[in-house]
A and B are shown apart, each in its own frame.
Chain A
Amino acid sequence: MNSSASHDVYIRKVAACFAWMIVIHVLACIYFTVTPKYYPLHRTAIALLYKRVFLIGPFYTEHRISISPSLYIRYKESVGEWSPLVDYGSDLHRQYYSAPWRYDRLKQDDLMRHFMREAFNTKWKHSHDPAEISNTKQFCTLSAFITKELIGKENVDSIHLIYSFSAFSAEQSAFKVDTVWNITFNPKQTCDIR
């Protein structure tokens, strides 16, 4: 056997190793896609690696699109009256539509909703004590973000948040709006996270 032929044999052996890896990868992807989440292997480290890196999605799953959260904010300075309730998310979107290169506006809305969601999730852990909620890291982050980035005023004395979910009901084929959190707080009395 000449050296060229032996090289061909070697490269085909290496290719065979990778071909098997690819076949196993495809089978794993199909398995994690079509089988229900309670099936074996779905909670293993391999499944986690696949769902993070190799098997991206699914997008627009029902549970992600069925609820639309909204956050309305009003505030009062040390002197003066309450401001009107503002949906800052819609404001940020409007800014994006008038200048589509300001994509960061949409991201700022994403960030606001992320902080709101994080704070809301802690509400359930501390629902027995409102004072405890306002001292959680998540609530402090939300408070600081709203005060500095959205309202942008120094002398804010009180902030009123109304967090609502608009959910789709398949039976009635209609949307139902629920206020899930209605809270007023003094941002100066919540912890300073930085």
Chain B
Amino acid sequence: MTYDRLIAWLSSGFQNQKAVTVFCKAVLILTLLRILFLWNASLVMVKYHHLSTPRSWSGKIMLAPSVLAGDHFSLVYIFFITLLIIGVFIRWNYLSGAIFFWITLNLYRITMPLTNGADQVQLALAVCMIFMVSTPYFKSPKMMAWQNVVFNASVLATQLIIVFVYFISGWDKLMTASWRTGDAFLMISNLQHLINPFFKDLLTNSIINIALAWITILFELTFVVFVWFRSTRIFTLIAGVLFHVTIAIVLNLPEFALMMSVSYLVFLKDTDYVFIKNRLPESSKS
């Protein structure tokens, strides 16, 4: 994308409004599911993970739910669930974006010892989602211009965050000898807290390990390029979903797989949904 094309893309109306709305709602639903599935573990955790009260008033307001969760865990989680359900059904706006970020920040603080890549990705998405509002908010044309450009920029920033998740991981693997030789998979087979025992023996074969290591490196580095081109975008995203489903099964990380798969929705265009809709049977369209 050249500089002029980038400016044209940023300034020419709200890009892929419907697809972005679907993305925002999907992230909300996933957060809701994560809260429900991790309820028991979070409940155990808050008993032992004491959260201090921030000193500043702004900190107290921002992080109040995480502090309250220590003694009123269920109340705080029910409050979050209620807000998320409302967020799913209303039109995405700046307030719902800000509230979602507030919920994500507090969940991140409450579950700090249990956080993983999925939480980090969610936090980054929540920051960008605040600005993904395509409903006209301002009367002044100048302010509308800002809203339009900020919307498109936040979508692009989200896409870049996802792309760089792969780039930094792929680059690190490429620079590490144990990944290039496939020994990394042998190490992974030894991680009792991660590996699914069903696949443990498979990862002791050196030829399979070299093949898997290079497939991983190539996928992560090529994702960075291929996701931007119309002809390769959908195939790249499908490959990404398969990649994460495999990780979810082999390494017991369903949360991260779901978060990354949902984040792919930000790469879809409105036309993709039209394409899917046109191919659905008549009965399911209605």
Contacts and interface: CB of A to CB of B under 8 A. Distances in A.
A111 B45 contact: yes
Nearest to B33: A103
Given A11-B148, A25-B160, A57 B165 contact: yes
A41 interface: no
A30 B164 CA distance: 8
Interface in A2-38: 3, 7-8, 10-12, 14-16, 18-19, 21-23, 25-26, 29-30, 33-34
Contact of A103 (B169, B191, B255): B255
A55 B168 contact: yes
B193 interface: yes
Given A14-B149, A61-B176, A103 B114 contact: no
Contacts of B3: 19, 23
A56 B117 contact: yes
Given A7-B141, A104-B37, A168-B183, A59 B169 contact: yes
B190 A168 contact: yes
A62 B184 contact: yes
B44 A111 contact: yes
Interface stretch (A65-73, A78-86, A123-131, A183-191): A65-73
A68 B190 CA distance: 6
B123 interface: yes
A144 B189 CA distance: 31
Contact of B38 (A15, A107, A149): A107
Contacts of B117: 56-57, 59
A144 B196 CA distance: 29
Interface in B194-212: 196-197
Interface residues of B, number: 65
A191 to B, nearest CB: 13
B192 interface: yes
Contacts of A69: 193
Nearest to B43: A104
Interface stretch (B6-14, B53-61, B77-85): B6-14
Interface residues of A, number: 67
Interface string A118-145: 0000000000000000000000010011
Contacts, number: 178
B176 A68 contact: no
Interface stretch (B150-158, B232-240, B278-286): B150-158
B143 to A, nearest CB: 10
A3 to B, nearest CB: 8
Contact of A33 (B142, B164, B188, B192): B164
Interface in B129-175: 141-142, 145-146, 148-150, 152-153, 156-157, 160-161, 164-165, 167-169, 171-173
Given A107-B38, A194-B47, 18 more contacts: A7-B145, A8-B11, A12-B11, A14-B11, A14-B145, A22-B6, A25-B160, A53-B123, A56-B161, A57-B117, A61-B172, A65-B187, A103-B38, A111-B113, A115-B48, A115-B113, A149-B44, A170-B178
Interface of A: 3, 7-8, 10-12, 14-16, 18-19, 21-23, 25-26, 29-30, 33-34, 52-62, 65-66, 68-70, 87, 89-90, 93, 96-97, 100-101, 103-111, 113-115, 141, 144-145, 149, 166, 168, 170, 173, 175, 193-194
24 contacts: A7-B145, A11-B145, A11-B149, A18-B10, A22-B156, A29-B160, A52-B120, A53-B123, A54-B164, A56-B168, A97-B197, A103-B37, A103-B38, A103-B254, A107-B114, A110-B116, A110-B193, A111-B41, A114-B113, A114-B114, A168-B178, A168-B183, A173-B183, A173-B186
